[in-house]
Structure 1
Amino acid sequence: MYNPGYPALINAEEPTRRWQARLREWATVVEPEPSMGGEDFAYYLHHRPGAFLFLGARPDVEYPHHSPHFQINEDALALGVEAFWHVIRA
């Protein structure tokens, strides 16, 4: 039996352009390499235009975020809230 898995997550052009411009006013924006990983946010983007972003929250010791050894940089949480505030205002 074929199970297609998650759909491709493709950011909508207009919100991505607008949000990147807004975020670049106060933060470093890095374009990540495309990934074949699955993400359920893709289902939202099939119904509404939007964009998915990553927030750099990993400390110097690099364990993946699904690892039990992962330790989030808690200072990044405040940065994430501020990032979303800028996106909402864009």
Structure 2
Amino acid sequence: MKKLLFVAMALVFSSCDNSEIKEEIASVKKDITALSAKLDRINDSIKKINTNSGSKGNPKPQADPNAVYNIPVSGSVVKGDKNAPVTITYFTDFQ
């Protein structure tokens, strides 16, 4: 009985019109191709942006970590000896 039902279903489905399905598959393939091309253009743009951002002509000047600055402490609040050989200065702005 199951075999007969299977054969009958196979006959029914084989006689169906597959042209709509084929058109839908063709449409999906076309959409995939268009999306793939768009993705390639986006990737190329990203690569171009990354390449251009890495080759700037004027790099930002770096601070010298070994520089010594003479900052007068006269008139400022000081913790410890005013005549110490090393002074650590904190800059704050309370506006």
**Which structure: greater helix fraction?**
2
Higher gyration radius (CA): 2
**Greater RCO between the two (CA within 8 Å, min separation 6)?**
1
> Normalising by structure 2, what TM-score?
0.21
